[in-house]
């Protein structure tokens, strides 16, 4: 008797909990004569990247921290001036990192000794004309930039391309649902739900380079835009009858 009462009480609590959860979640109710089919599908569209994001900066070293920072500031001012002269808008240049760190000499069985200081200043630059970004980078090197990484090629406004990918994903899911329904001797009645799992352009690989000297006679650094895919993944629930 005691065991039955405890079970009944636990069942009552469980039912109460389920009832409260049901009020919040409201699970989907399917018609008794229907069959649920869930299909995953991807949609892809392609675009030529129109935005290059590059890190550019200056690294300097000196015996004293103050002089390392002073020299860094002078060279960085020239780099920023070169960006403005090249027509890069102020909104497309942002400081991403400033650092000052001691440099040590290590010897066996001796404490490390500070030999100088390294200062660095890095900016993130967005180039909206990818074809000109290589030439501008070369100009930055001439003005003292010696720490450059990138480019990360991307699409400035991907919404239109992503919508194309979404439409393609829905069409692919519907075609697959029709295939399953036909094979099972059923038909697709309607879509019950659509869930988007991801809609992001893949990042392009980044390359890093340090430049200490630059020859004015060298060819401009080439930056090739290529083509980038934008992919959307959907999960679609169909009702088959």
Claim to verify: residue 44 and residue 163 sit in the same structural domain: yes
Q: Is the pLDDT of residue 238 over 50?
A: yes
C-alpha–C-alpha distance, residues 214 and 72, integer Å: 18
| pTM of structure | 0.67
Measured in degrees and rounded to the nearest 5, phi and psi for residue 150 equal 130, -165
Domain match, 148 and 160 both: no
Between 116 and 13, the more confident residue is 116
Q: Is the Cβ–Cβ distance between 228 and 155 less than 8 Å? A: yes
**Nearest-angstrom CA–CA distance, 215 and 209:** 16
Q: Identify which of 33-37, 117-121, 138-142 has the greatest average pLDDT.
A: 117-121
Is residue 176 within 8 A of residue 39, CB to CB? The reply is yes
Tell me 203's DSSP state.
P
The separation between CA 175 and the C-alpha centre of its own chain, rounded to angstroms, equals 31
Cα 183 to Cα 57: distance, rounded to the nearest angstrom: 61
| pLDDT (tens digit per residue) in 186-237 | 999 999 999 998 666 555 544 444 444 334 445 678 888 889 999 999 999 9
Please indicate, yes or no, whether residues 58 and 79 belong to a single structural domain of this protein.
Answer: yes
Domain-located, residue 117: yes
CATH code of the domain containing 236: 3.30.110.170
Residue 21 lies in a domain: no
Instruction: Report percent pLDDT > 90 for the chain.
Output: 71
Q: Is residue 24 in some structural domain?
A: no
Whole domain around residue 145: which residue ranges? 51-154
Helix (H) or strand (E) holding 81: helix 65-85
In the three-class reduction of DSSP (H, G, I as helix; E, B as strand; rest coil), residue 32 is classed as: coil
CA distance 88 to 90: 7
Q: Find, among 130, 169, 153, 128, the residue nearest to 45 by Cα.
A: 169
Number of domains the chain contains: 2
Instruction: Give the phi and the psi of residue 38 in degrees, each rounded to 5.
Output: -110, 125
Same domain, 160 and 149: no
Q: Is 37 helix (H, G, I), strand (E, B) or coil?
A: strand
Q: Indicate whether 21 pLDDT > 70.
A: no
| Residue 6 falls inside a structural domain | no
| Spatial distance between the Cα atoms of 92 and 125, rounded to a whole number of angstroms | 6
Asked if 38 and 97 sit in the same domain, the reply is no
User: Residue 203: what are its φ and ψ, rounded to 5°?
Assistant: -70, 145
């Amino acid at each position: 008797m005691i065991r039955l009462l405890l079970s009944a009480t636990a069942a009552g609590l469980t039912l109460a909990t389920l009832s409260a959860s049901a009020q919040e979640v409201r699970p989907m109710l399917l018609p008794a004569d229907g069959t649920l089919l869930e299909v995953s599908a991807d949609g892809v569209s392609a675009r030529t990247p129109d935005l290059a994001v590059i890190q550019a900066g200056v690294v300097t070293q000196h015996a004293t921290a103050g002089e390392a920072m002073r020299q860094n500031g002078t060279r960085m001012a020239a780099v920023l001036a070169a960006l403005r002269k090249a027509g890069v808008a102020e909104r497309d240049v942002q400081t991403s990192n400033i650092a000052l760190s001691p440099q040590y000499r290590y010897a066996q069985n001796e404490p490390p000794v500070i030999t100088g200081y390294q200062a660095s200043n890095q900016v993130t630059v967005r180039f909206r004309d990818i074809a000109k970004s290589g030439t501008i980078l070369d100009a930055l090197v001439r003005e003292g930039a010696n720490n450059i990484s990138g480019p990360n090629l991307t699409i400035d406004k991907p919404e239109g391309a992503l919508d194309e990918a979404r439409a393609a994903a829905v069409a692919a899911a519907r075609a697959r649902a029709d295939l399953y329904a036909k094979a099972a001797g059923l038909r697709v009645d309607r879509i019950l739900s659509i869930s988007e799992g991801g809609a992001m352009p893949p990042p392009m690989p980044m390359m890093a380079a340090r430049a200490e000297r630059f020859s004015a006679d060298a060819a401009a650094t080439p930056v090739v835009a290529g083509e980038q895919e934008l992919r959307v993944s959907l999960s679609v629930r169909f009702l088959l009858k």
